[in-house]
Chains A and B, each alone.
Chain A
Amino acid sequence: MTQAAPETPPVLALEGVSKSFGAVHALRGVSLRLHAGEAHALAGENGAGKSTLIKTLAGVHRPDTGVVLLDGEPVEFHGPADARDAGVAVIYQEPTLFPDLSVAENIFVGRQPRRSFGRVDHRAVRQAAADLFRRLGVALEPDQPARGLSIADQQLVEIAKALSFDARVLVMDEPTAALTGSEVARLFGVVRALREQGAAVLFISHRLDEVFALCQRVTTLRDGALIASEPVDGLTEDDLVRRMVGRDLDELYPKQDAKIGGVALSVRRLTREGVFTDVSFDVRHGEIVGLAGLVGAGRSEVARAVFGVDRWDGGEVEVDGRPLPPGAPSLAMAAGLALVPEDRRAEGLVMDMSIERNINLTGFASTSRAGVMRRGAERSRAVDWAVRLQVKYARLADAVSTLSGGNQQKVVLAKWLATDPGVLIVDEPTRGIDVGTKAEVHRLLSQLAADGVAVLMISSDLPEVLAMADRVLVMHEGRLAADLTRAEATEESVMAAATGRGRSAA
């Protein structure tokens, strides 16, 4: 029933598509067929060309060679509007919202329902947005402006936007990267329903279990070339990883034993009105503490406040026994704190600056002499970290904006790891990072902890938290709901605390 008959032409397809950016061959002769009623996964490492492929389907990029086929007929999309009008709805990897417009308007830009004389029906716009949020089970106000939404909420608005089409083809580039289990489950429920109604789905995720949970077919890319396109049935995660990476992978979550020392970061009764309340915890040298919770529980907000990006209204923060003043990131940095932020484009990177410059934004002290930058030292620092994190780039002088999403994330990590911090706070460190490099990031965090760094890790990827953390803190609606040891922390106990069922379940 879900499998389309083989003789009906695919709704949307690519035939032998190549696309280059200067010397970079992002796609080499790739073919892909999307059938009605089928969910198709696209797998591949960071920089393999997945997003480029999607942008070709969406009319953002014109293929250098090869064709796009709609219902078996060649078409030429002259822009995103053409693809949209052909019934292709796209969720791009990086949220593309309008900060000044309301959430509801964001969803319907260019396609608002209209009433007499072609006037926009603002009430219908609001109503439709509210309906979409209800379908997705999201607590967003249609009228609130998009400015200031967390990455996860932005992602949810993007999802609502894509669902608002009567799309024949739904294309999703890492829609779940910032979401936790329950939001993902909701999303999958809605996507399955659409698929059963006959929509074709293209789905990208670096979380392989999601690929297996949602999709019937998977196409793997490596360095822009097609490796395999096959049914998911009968495939194992290891098979898939081998196709993506071209070799067998080492253990995914290498956890080194570390000697746990004195308290490095101490947070006492921290409160920011309306955001989080009475949060207290310690992180010791050599310890990795996971901070789990649902989207909107206040995890990132705590991290931002500790680092001084946002002010707090009450409480104390101490680093190695010395109190930190509120709202002073530069003092926090001087005290040895580093924060890898959640929103890489807005807070982590200067998009038009080169890779090298971005990595060195935090390194002025270590790469300058008497206030004068030393290019040589900068360069070697950047190369060193780019290589350690396996950033895939053409030249270090290229703008960060030309990197693939996962590689941008690696640059943010490099920028902060290079500061040699005593306390490292990482917010979604592996968001959008492929399996191979994920293991590398985990190894790195583990190594840092073994060297005595205190690590606070926020992650929506529960298996990652469980595998890496010595202790798991769980937040629920702005409060700490549980403090679990490594032995106590299981998927059930964390989810119970995160959803506020902690007391009764325990």
Chain B
Amino acid sequence: MTVTTDQEHRARPAGGSGSRKLLDTVLKVRELAIGAVLVVMLLATQLDNSDFLSQQGIKDLLLNATILVLVAVGQAMVVITRNVDLSVGSTLGISAFAAGDYLSGGGNPLVAVVLAVLLGAALGAVNGLLVSLGRVPALVVTLGTLYIIRGLDSVWVGSRQITASQLPSGFAGFGHDGLSVIPYLALLTAAVLVCVAYYLRAYRGGRDLYALGSNPEAARLAGVPVRRRILTAYVVCGALAGLAGALYLARFGNVDSGTGTGYELTVVSAVVVGGVAFTGGSGTVYGAALGALLLTSINSVLPSIGVSSVWVQAIDGFLLLLAIAVDRVVALRVADLLRKRAAETRSARHA
């Protein structure tokens, strides 16, 4: 009896790694698919309009994407825990103004960025506390803070405006320059992206976020510090929205009380298009970043091939629905695959 068992199990690893590879591919397809769509779209546009991927063109593309990517990365962390943060647009706006206000008074650019990040983190902490302690759906809580932060912003800013001329020239330069075609902003964003992705993949805290989103009750029973993890996700999300605010200031040099209005919906679309399931527990920040890149690229592509930009929103919406449909199909496929694989290993084992 024991002998057969040993043999049974010795036979397994081969089948195991095979099914693992297949599965990995299927699960990664989500990111691959967006990447492919992106590449095809950019190449097609380039064929139509050879100026599109010029040095300046690539730079613009990356610059446009960076801010959305940053916020999407933070949002993805929150969505993975089966929550959402709708207040990111307001957070971005108020942090941008805070940094601008400080700089226009002759402040240090680095301190300004840190200030924006801290303000964002603090606002994220408020969201996180309300969501994790209040047992109120995140959608409602953050809709509330969206309006509250925007309201405070309006009261504070009034009709004031920060313009590029009020900012130190080095700061604006940081917003435009880069290493050859790659803007500094994009480098910074890429660094953040890699760090967050690594944290989610390789640290207990990161894995806990997936567990939490996958089955909150089970996470509690498994001793996952649920509140602390949710709080962390919101703080990071807020901090990244704050950082994005500082970068917004550097890039556009122009901030008023309406900055970032409506941004939350674009961010959420980017995250969902990027394959982070709204039901929590799955998706990666790389996917979210690709989703953000895709959405911003469409904004640049349409005008350059002569399509009126009024189509942009409709196309964004269409992409969103498409993404959800693809997710569904992939999920069914994976289930099917698993079933067949399981049966194969089982019969191999008994053979």
Contact = CB atoms under 8 A, between A and B. Distances in A.
Contacts of A112: 204, 207
B215 A148 contact: no
Contact of B214 (A84, A100, A500): A100
Contact of B211 (A101, A122, A477): A101
A263 interface: no
B342 interface: yes
Interface in A99-132: 99-101, 105, 109-110, 112, 114, 118-120, 122
A312 interface: no
Given A98-B218, A109-B219, A110-B223, A144 B204 contact: no
B217 interface: yes
Contacts of A260: none
Contact of A144 (B23, B282, B349): B23
A141 B9 contact: no
Given A79-B223, A80-B220, A100 B344 contact: no
Interface string A288-309: 0000000010000000000000
Contact of B19 (A79, A100, A119, A144): A144
B82 to A, nearest CB: 10
A145 interface: yes
Given A98-B211, A110-B208, A139-B345, A148 B339 contact: yes
Contact of A137 (B5, B203, B335, B350): B5
Nearest to B202: A119
A141 B349 CA distance: 12
A100 B281 contact: yes
Interface residues of A, number: 42
Contact of B343 (A83, A84, A92, A478): A478
A324 interface: no
Interface residues of B, number: 44
Interface in A143-159: 143-145, 147-148
Contacts of B28: none
Contact of B218 (A96, A142, A275, A500): A96
Nearest to B225: A81
B345 A296 contact: no
B340 interface: yes
A139 B9 CA distance: 8
B214 A98 contact: yes
A431 B8 CA distance: 30
Tell me the dominant secondary structure on chain A's binding face: loop
B340 A84 contact: no
A242 interface: no
Contacts of B5: 134, 137
A308 to B, nearest CB: 17
B224 interface: yes
A104 to B, nearest CB: 11
B278 interface: no
Nearest to A147: B335
Contacts of B221: 58, 60, 80, 90, 92, 96
A277 to B, nearest CB: 10
A134 B281 contact: no
Contacts of A92: 221
Nearest to B8: A139
B335 A80 contact: no
Contacts of B307: none
Given A109-B208, A143-B20, A274 B203 contact: no
A141 B345 contact: yes
A36 interface: no
Contact of A80 (B222, B340, B344): B222
Could you say which of B339, B341, B345 has the most chain A C-beta atoms within 10 Å of its C-beta? Answer: B339
A99 B340 CA distance: 18
A273 interface: yes
A409 to B, nearest CB: 19
Given A80-B220, A80-B221, A101 B210 contact: yes
Interface of B: 5, 8-9, 12, 16, 19-20, 23, 202-204, 207-208, 210-211, 213-215, 217-225, 280-282, 334-335, 338-347, 349-350
12 contacts: A80-B220, A80-B221, A96-B222, A98-B218, A139-B12, A143-B19, A144-B19, A144-B341, A148-B335, A148-B338, A477-B346, A478-B343
Which 8 A-B pairs rank lowest in CB-CB distance, beginning with the nearest?
A81-B223, A100-B281, A96-B218, A274-B340, A274-B343, A98-B214, A100-B214, A119-B202
